[in-house]
Amino acid sequence: MASNVSESPVPTISSDDPGVTELFALLAYGEISAFYRLSADAAKAPDLRGKVALASMAAAEMGHYERLQEALERRGVDIYQAMEPYVQALEDYHASTTPSTWLESLVKAYIGDGLAADFYREIAGTLSGEVAEIVREVLSETAHSTFVVDEVSKAVAASPQTKARLTLWGRRLLGEAITQAQYVAARREELADLVLAAVGDINHLVELFDRMQEQHEVRMEALGLV
């Protein structure tokens, strides 16, 4: 998904920064949990086209996880131990945003994952070359957003009730995503230090969340939820 967040032209954070390991671990658990979620959603798809689209998205998430596993292994880090501190927070997020319909699943895949990508991409702009490349690679578009946009926009155009419900759902995803991002960063000191080093200070962190909200509105508009 495209992002308009700004990036620093010169990396300021070394690849040896301990926060990089934390970032890779957080991303890794995010990818593997996305794989399980999308696989489950694919099984619930109402037609074969939907099953294939979400199964392909799930496969891409697994590929991203394996890339992060390789990166952590090169740093001498056990991926399972590294991911453990992030499991509960991300599971809490998914528990609080469990879709009740197929369309809610699609909106979450598009909106929720896009919000996370915006946050991490901004941090990537201040990382060293190889580390930034890995982060951007695992956040790359899975090439199925067109399917989600087409399915959701068609549905909301046909039903004002569906549009109203999914609009509220999209807003809820924004609030939960920002809350969890703040919670995770606050509980992991090395990750928090990395985030603050990337954005500059608390005021710039607030600006980052403002930009995330702007991108959220762009995605909501693409889905017809405005």
What pLDDT digit, counting tens, does each position of 20-48 carry?
Answer: 999 999 999 999 999 999 999 998 899 99
Amino acid symbol at 71: A
6 belongs to a structural domain: no
11 belongs to a structural domain: no
**Residue 189 confidence (pLDDT):** 83
54 belongs to a structural domain: yes
- For 134, other C-beta atoms within 10 Å of its C-beta total 22
4 belongs to a structural domain: no
Residue 86 above 80 pLDDT? yes
62 belongs to a structural domain: yes
**Residue 143 confidence (pLDDT):** 57
Structure tokens, 188: 């992991």
The count of domains in the chain is: 1
What pLDDT digit, counting tens, does each position of 135-169 carry?
Answer: 988 887 655 688 899 999 999 999 999 999 999 99
What pLDDT digit, counting tens, does each position of 159-215 carry?
Answer: 999 999 999 999 999 988 888 877 777 778 888 888 888 877 777 778 888 888 899
| Structural domain that includes position 129 | 18-222
For residues 151 and 144, what is the distance between their CA atoms, to the nearest angstrom?
11
97 belongs to a structural domain: yes
For residues 58 and 38, what is the distance between their CA atoms, to the nearest angstrom?
5
13 neighbors 128 (Cβ within 8 angstroms)? yes
CATH number for 87: 1.20.1260.10
What pLDDT digit, counting tens, does each position of 3-19 carry?
Answer: 444 444 455 788 888 88
pTM score of the predicted model: 0.86
**Residue 141 confidence (pLDDT):** 62
